[in-house]
Structure 1
Amino acid sequence: MKKLGFLALFLAIVLTSCNSGANKSYLPSSIGAINSMVVVIDNDLWKSRVGDSIRRHFAAPVLGMPMDEPLFNIDQIAPKFFTGSLRNTRSVLFVMKDSVDVAHVKSDLYATPQKIGVIKGETEEDIIENLKDESDQIIKAFKEVEITEAQKRFNRSLNKEGVLQEKFGISLKVPSIYKVGKQEDNFVWIDREIRKGSANIIVYEMPANSFGNDTTLVKDIIAMRDSIGKKYVPGPDVTGKVTYMRTEPAYAPALFPVEIAGIKGVEVRGIWDIKNYPMAGPFLTYILNDKTNNRKLVMEGFVFAPATEKRDDIFELEAILKTLKLVPQQADEDAK
């Protein structure tokens, strides 16, 4: 009897495990445009101060852009209509009145990959307070899943040029539409055409002991960017004037700690312009403390697209740069 009881328990565990795995494997792929989200909320709440609070957090202007563009494009829907394929939306925010206060993020409930933020409260004031406390974490989760989705789409067709590995011992998942436009001993420029302009990636190295003084870090980063721009990124020809890309003098860039491919560093967001010429746009720079190779590795994305929205273009560049991997340089491989 003991054997039979043990066998029954074993089979139950196996079947439960199989069913659990099967349910997860049968989740449909999530859907939605990059940087879009659905807010599931009653219409009355959406038109109230709660809706204002949601828009204030989730449609806030993207940092470092020359004109205001929202973090996410938001579609609102009442709970009773949140059915069918709408449940497969990649980034979803549930907001509702409830007898308990709740604020958390769930993963892959209806589709994969998917992040669902849940905000509940007994009163409008409770909901607004929960939004204030937890919106940053929910935005972070939404951004991470959007980055993952963008990177997955890159895999459909990747650039096979090996210049980044040859010069810097790194690889990036760069869509094939991007092409190497310029390369020198310590500089590579990759770009692609976009509507009314271009999306650009530049990579170079700095000495390992660069930026040793925290009190002058912003000033030193600006000086680095401006010197690289003057040397490698010229502006249009203007008679009697020198033109090149620099950091917009009127706006100090914002700095944040970052870690990519296990390498710590700093993320810099700001606006570039062309000295002596009316041209500007957003930039995103990663300065990584690559101790393995005794250097500061600098990767930057910048967008030029006059009078057009640039959020999704700079976001694509961020997603590309975050695919960084350190790989052996070709010369080292050939010597082995």
Structure 2
Amino acid sequence: MICILEVMTGFLFLSNFLYKPRKIWYDVCYFFPSYYNYIPDMRRISIYHTIILFILLAACSNNKQPLLPKVTGKPGEVLLVVDQYIWESEIGNFLNTMLTQPFEAIPQEEPIYDPIRISSSAFNNIFKSHRNIILAKISSRNKKPRIIVQRDIWAKPQLVVNIIGPNDSTTLQYLEENQDKLVSLLNQAEINRTIENYKKNRAKGIDEALKTKHHLTISVPIGYQMDVDADNFIWISHELSDLTQGILIYYYEYTDSNTFTPEYLVQKRNEFTRRYVPGPVDGSYMKTEDLYPVVYNQYNRDDKYYIELRGLWKLEKAFMGGPYVSLTTLDEKRNRIVTVDGFVYAPSLNKRNYVREIEAIIHTLTITE
């Protein structure tokens, strides 16, 4: 409807614009009769008019998506549209427990998400633009439990998860079986939003240097600077008064499949950080915290194999530390192992969202040709 109104407005404007010249010519010819032969051909103008109208209507038909507002809400927030009787049931308890479980590999406990619960009657336009929305509806009219995922319904980029079930028991069982998928959906939505923002505001100088010298790219946002650019090690950092976010990129020759074990990857990390990441005290350097178990995940993306590590780092001979997350893959063309490692130092701040920010950066890793 909005598009049609825009086309009609443009049509009227063009009508006024295209037909005015004829009136002007008649006014001129009143004083200069010999100019009558040059009066514009209105048939030709009508043809142009029709063509322009056709182009406007075609553009309207190809743009069926309405203009959506940007999402609202803070990073890590999830809006739960759940009525009181569901919230007080086992399903409500499950959703709350799922969203508030501890975030992995950070020194102080924080929930993976911050749930905000409202009833369905309160779900108005103010709330519909929220970044992450979970709606739960339990009714005997529903034949079986389902999870329906929608995107960009009331805002953009938005994730909307509909949980539908016939009763508490079967719905709860279904949710328990799909808990990891639900959390993964939310995680990916949060990361993708950050990635898209970073791609629009990337530090082009760093991007070009990585591509030219090291044959790889990552979307590093404006505000980061290159601290070290060695033959096979890069250190990029973002420094504020109370926060440090660092990206370490290093690579080495691939020898055998044992390269992808967590023990070997931690060993290589310690080798590079000892050499290139010194602390403020003489003889101090970054290393992986041995007292905290490393979280190890593996997966495939775009036909490439990746290893993800999460853990804690510390400074040897100094009192500093924090979380890190790394992504490792094989560059088959150059027979090298490439690791992108992000770390956070923020002793007085919550760290979950800052870890997600560096996680978004490392997940933009691309090996170039």
Give the secondary-structure state (helix, strand or coil) at the position aligned to 2:342: strand
Give the Cα–Cα distance (whole angstroms) in 1 for the partners of residues 303 and 245 of structure 2: 26
**Which of 195, 209, 217 matches 1:151?**
195
Between structures 1 and 2, the one with greater helix share:
2
Give the Cα–Cα distance (whole angstroms) in 2 for the partners of residues 24 and 177 of structure 1: 34
C-alpha change, 1:264 and 1:36, in structure 2 (3 Å) is same
Query: Which residue of 1 is the match for residue 104 of structure 2?
Result: 63
Question: Any conservation in 1 of the 2:289–2:312 contact (CA below 8 Å)?
Answer: yes
Give the secondary-structure state (helix, strand or coil) at the position aligned to 1:224: helix
Give the Cα–Cα distance (whole angstroms) in 2 for the partners of residues 123 and 278 of structure 1: 53
> Is 1:311–2:352 an aligned residue pair?
yes
Query: Which residue of 1 is the match for residue 225 of structure 2?
Result: 179
Tell me which amino acid in the other structure corresponds to 2:129. Answer: N
Question: Any conservation in 1 of the 2:81–2:135 contact (CA below 8 Å)?
Answer: yes
Give the secondary-structure state (helix, strand or coil) at the position aligned to 1:292: coil
- Total equivalences in the alignment: 307
Give the C-alpha shift of residue 38 in structure 1.
0.6
Structure 2 gap segments, 5+ residues each: 1-57
Query: Which residue of 2 is the match for residue 160 of structure 1?
Result: 204
Per-residue CA shift, 1:235-269, capped at 9, x if unaligned? 2215xxx3211111111211111345643120111
> Is 1:102–2:145 an aligned residue pair?
yes
Give the C-alpha shift of residue 90 in structure 1.
2.4
Give the C-alpha shift of residue 64 in structure 1.
1.1
Structure 1 gap segments, 5+ residues each: 1-16, 329-336
Q: Percent same amino acid at aligned positions?
A: 24
| TM-score of the pair, normalised by structure 1 | 0.83
Which structure has the larger Rg?
2
Tell me which amino acid in the other structure corresponds to 1:188. Answer: I
Query: Which residue of 1 is the match for residue 157 of structure 2?
Result: 113
Give the Cα–Cα distance (whole angstroms) in 2 for the partners of residues 195 and 211 of structure 1: 42
Tell me which amino acid in the other structure corresponds to 1:207. Answer: E
Give the C-alpha shift of residue 20 in structure 1.
8.7
Tell me which amino acid in the other structure corresponds to 1:182. Answer: V
Give the Cα–Cα distance (whole angstroms) in 1 for the partners of residues 61 and 350 of structure 2: 43
Give the Cα–Cα distance (whole angstroms) in 1 for the partners of residues 289 and 102 of structure 2: 19
Give the secondary-structure state (helix, strand or coil) at the position aligned to 2:330: strand
Give the Cα–Cα distance (whole angstroms) in 1 for the partners of residues 61 and 300 of structure 2: 34
Give the secondary-structure state (helix, strand or coil) at the position aligned to 2:320: strand
Question: Any conservation in 1 of the 2:258–2:264 contact (CA below 8 Å)?
Answer: no
Tell me which amino acid in the other structure corresponds to 2:169. Answer: E
| TM-score of the pair, normalised by structure 2 | 0.76
Give the secondary-structure state (helix, strand or coil) at the position aligned to 2:258: coil
Give the C-alpha shift of residue 19 in structure 1.
9.2
Query: Which residue of 2 is the match for residue 123 of structure 1?
Result: 167
Per-residue CA shift, 1:143-163, capped at 9, x if unaligned? 222212112222443212233
Give the secondary-structure state (helix, strand or coil) at the position aligned to 2:163: strand
Question: Any conservation in 1 of the 2:147–2:164 contact (CA below 8 Å)?
Answer: no
> Is 1:270–2:308 an aligned residue pair?
no
